[in-house]
Structure 1
Amino acid sequence: MTAPALTGPALTGPAPLPLAELHASLADPLLDAMTFLNEVTTRYPGAVSFAPGRPYEGFFEPEDVPAYLDAYLDHLAATGLSRDAIRTTLFQYGPTKGVIADLVARTLANDEGLAVAPEALVLTVGAQEGMLLTLRALCAGPDDVVLVSSPCYVGVTGAARLLDLATVPVPEGPDGGPDPAAVQAAAQAVRASGRRPRALYVVPDFANPSGTSMPVEARARLLATAAAADLLVIEDNPYGFFARDAAERPTLKALDRDRRVVYLGSFAKTCFPGARLGYVVADQEVAGPGGRRSLLADELAKLKSMTTVNTPALSQAVIGGMLLTHDCRLRAANAPATAHYAANMAALLAELERHFPAAERARLGLSWNVPEGGFFAVLTVGFAADDAAMERCARDFGVLWTPMAPFYPAGGGEHRLRLSISSLTPGQITDGVGRLADFIRAETAHAVAR
């Protein structure tokens, strides 16, 4: 039997969705820049890559994961939980604020001298979620403005873009971090425009992308400026654990005496990124109708319940087991990693000095900063360090880096590039700087010829 012939108009695909009718952030060049970087990395897998700010994989062992999970299960059993209760903790939806807040609080006390009540913590899907929740909670409407250091981590400017929040850049001062006088001036200008400067975002330790760190005196001045300008401070601290001594460089939160600082933490660099686990310390009191009192952490949890619902219990269990294994002292546990990154940074700076003596630096218009640690250093070059230049460098010289322009919210950085040393070995750094030196000389010569 023959099937009946289909009649009617020819079938066609759906009409494409106009980009102009989607959220405006999707047309933001910032998103394209990050996508381009990922694509270039994939196209040139053999290149020495100074681009990714990810931890060195030599510190990860697959067999550690079940060992950490077992450590956490033993911990739960030791607290008196039954097998059924342990099953529920691991396999069911859990508390929105998380299940290992007590262990995180102990770690912050041991490593940072921070006295944090567990109920003031929210465990998040990476620090990025914590950033998004914090911005959404603090900014009530279109007139609320977030001040950001410039250059600035693209995660916070991207999150603000997704939320339709305005950001105002504040230039870094000579000591690193946002200049207090510039913060005050920016806050005054925002108020003069009829808007409210709500918060200041800052990475005080080994900042991404600049690699700079704030001296203690500058931290105290910044907090005083924030108080005078009635600003909350959003402190992002993914790299501070790699400082050799927390007592010499306390976090802004450790110096906070009036609960002005909301603290974003992450286990991506100190444990491993695959767990996607971060946290927010939000101990600010919130006054509600009828005299109701809560913590800002409780309000963040409300928002989280409508986004990711809760943070995966298995990820929390593995990180919790890692914390327990190391007696909730990540700074000591990360001592080998701290030494590795410090050696890598020293190798990078030494190789730059070796390839570019002072006279040649002057001729090429080349300079770089000297970070005290962390993952990143920044070069200033005599040519446009844009996506096209990066691709030429990858294709012709076999080395990758990150253009700095996307890190400047109001423009700038066109002649600067970021080098990350975190995922490389000293040998790769030596090889990569040699290739980079050849590229810089060739590119500068071409720029002069043009």
Structure 2
Amino acid sequence: MNYKFSEIFRYIKPSEIRSLLKYTSDPELISFGGGMPNPESFPVEEMKEILADIMDNYGKKALQYGTTEGLDVLRDELAKYVLKTEGINAKREEIILTTGSQQALYAIAKIFVNPNDPVITEGPTYVGAISAFNANTANMMAIDIDENGMNVDELEAKIKELSQNGLKPKFIYVIPTFQNPAGTTMSLDRRKRLLEISERYEIPIVEDNPYGQLRYDGEPVQSIKSMDKNGNVIYLGTFSKVMAPGLRLGYVIAPREVIDKINLLKQGLDLASDSLSEYIAYEYLKRGAIYRQIPKTVDLYRKKRDLMIKSLEEYFPEAATWTKPHGGMFLWVSLDERIDTTKMLDRALKAKVAYVSGSAFYPHGEKHNSMRLNFTYSDDDKIVEGIKRLAYVINEEMEVVE
């Protein structure tokens, strides 16, 4: 059989992160490559009680198909949760459950983007967003970020440039709090300016907030969605970082017309998200377990962040720089510009240490001398040893390029 696949596969490329998974079976490999929460953060005992109660009280419903938009009582609890944690006022009908936030990214691109339509992202940005937008043939344009988030002056200049050519971005995608991959947080002033730009040019903002509750120090910054008075912001959340990623449960908060379109698309994707996961999340919120678990996770991750930064300071070459995030799961390391971290990865894997090269986080692979390091997953001793191995690899690479 000579299969004839659709043109869409010209745009879809394999994820470097997923490609690294084949090495995870090697017990000697220390991987900073994935974005996985630490299993020690999973509320296992609480889940045992919740599951038992669900089987006793909702068993037949929890094991049945659910509605496409998601469990009503869960959406009500989510409305309470985002009001308490992010200051977002949302009604039940403005919330839809998704099979992980990755499905939400794919759905948003699908309902807004026609082939080659421009979409604005941060540079660097989440590799999963790049995959989702590529799968919908978006023409992504990355706006540089610094320690205060997206450069909004550069953003407005790009919008004006596109306008002169008769083009307008379909949306602006940002991860303003503990950005993936850089770990940076957008300042309040820039958030307000971004919202003003969105309103002035009538371009929606997609605010992705997987890590907002994982704050280790510093003061919280108001979410963009909480300041949105005119329905300009589409907000994405997930249970993966505050409950468990294996349950594959995310959500979108947006104006009803957007939710309705996602609902229609989701009917063609999976009919509905997992009913059992939705009942688990409902009980997890209703019982307040999420508010007991998050501080434990924060304490665990804060120590790991500090340990990785201390190890970088001790072992990495002087020319290397890195972000020092107030929360989240990642550090962004920049090396001598002569080093190509994509090419260096083979050398690192031979030394039994893994990372994700910086170019994977740019829509067109623009930059090559950076890497993303995850500090949440590895055991403490492996963080130290992994940074030692990586420092050795970098020093070897420097001898080659000099």
TM-score of the superposed pair, with normalisation by structure 2: 0.92
Residues 1:391 and 1:28: Cα distance change in structure 2 (over 3 Å): farther
The percentage of aligned residue pairs carrying the same residue is: 26
Partner of 1:442: 396
1:114 aligns with 2:88: yes
Partner of 1:58: 40
Match of 2:187 among 209, 212, 215: 215
1:157 aligns with 2:112: no
1:169 aligns with 2:131: no
Residues 1:35 and 1:242: Cα distance change in structure 2 (over 3 Å): closer
Residues 1:207 and 1:217: Cα distance change in structure 2 (over 3 Å): same
Partner of 1:226: 198
Partner of 2:363: 409
Q: Quick check: 2:115–2:136 contact (8 Å CA) kept in 1?
A: no
Partner of 1:314: 276
Per the alignment, in what secondary structure is the counterpart of residue 269 of structure 2? coil
Per-residue CA deviation, residues 254-274 of structure 1 (Å, 9 max, x unaligned), is 122222110000001110000
Shift in Å at residue 326 of structure 1? 1.8
Partner of 2:51: 69
Match of 2:334 among 373, 380, 402: 380
Per-residue CA deviation, residues 361-381 of structure 1 (Å, 9 max, x unaligned), is 1xxx32222222211111112
Question: Which residue identity lines up with residue 419 of structure 1 in the other structure?
Answer: L
Aligned length: 399
In structure 2, distance between residues paired with 1:104 and 1:200: 24
Per the alignment, in what secondary structure is the counterpart of residue 418 of structure 1? strand
- Map of 1:7-406 to 2, 5 A cutoff? 14-15=1-2, 17=3, 21-27=4-10, 30-31=13-14, 33-42=16-25, 44-60=26-42, 62-72=44-54, 86=58, 89-99=61-71, 100-139=74-113, 141-142=114-115, 144-172=117-145, 174-243=146-215, 248-282=220-254, 284-285=255-256, 295-326=257-288, 330-356=290-316, 361=318, 365-382=319-336, 383-395=338-350, 397-406=351-360
Shift in Å at residue 159 of structure 1? 1.1
- The farther-off stretch of 262-271 and 416-425 is 416-425
Question: Which residue identity lines up with residue 39 of structure 1 in the other structure?
Answer: K
Q: Quick check: 2:339–2:398 contact (8 Å CA) kept in 1?
A: no
Unmatched 5+ residue regions in structure 1?
1-13, 78-85, 286-294
Q: Quick check: 1:232–1:261 contact (8 Å CA) kept in 2?
A: yes
Question: Which residue identity lines up with residue 169 of structure 1 in the other structure?
Answer: A
Per-residue CA deviation, residues 15-39 of structure 1 (Å, 9 max, x unaligned), is 4x4xxx5345535584153443223
CA RMSD of aligned residues (A): 2.3
Question: Which residue identity lines up with residue 121 of structure 1 in the other structure?
Answer: I
Partner of 2:374: 420
Residues 1:244 and 1:48: Cα distance change in structure 2 (over 3 Å): closer
Shift in Å at residue 72 of structure 1? 4.8
Question: Which residue identity lines up with residue 259 of structure 2 in the other structure?
Answer: A
Max radius of gyration: which structure?
A: 1
Shift in Å at residue 203 of structure 1? 0.2
Residues 1:68 and 1:197: Cα distance change in structure 2 (over 3 Å): same
Per-residue CA deviation, residues 121-167 of structure 1 (Å, 9 max, x unaligned), is 0000000111112222233x346421111111121221121122222
Question: Which residue identity lines up with residue 321 of structure 1 in the other structure?
Answer: E
Question: Which residue identity lines up with residue 165 of structure 1 in the other structure?
Answer: A
Q: Quick check: 1:147–1:170 contact (8 Å CA) kept in 2?
A: yes
- The farther-off stretch of 151-160 and 54-63 is 54-63
TM-score of the superposed pair, with normalisation by structure 1: 0.83
Unmatched 5+ residue regions in structure 2?
none
In structure 1, distance between residues paired with 2:374 and 2:358: 12
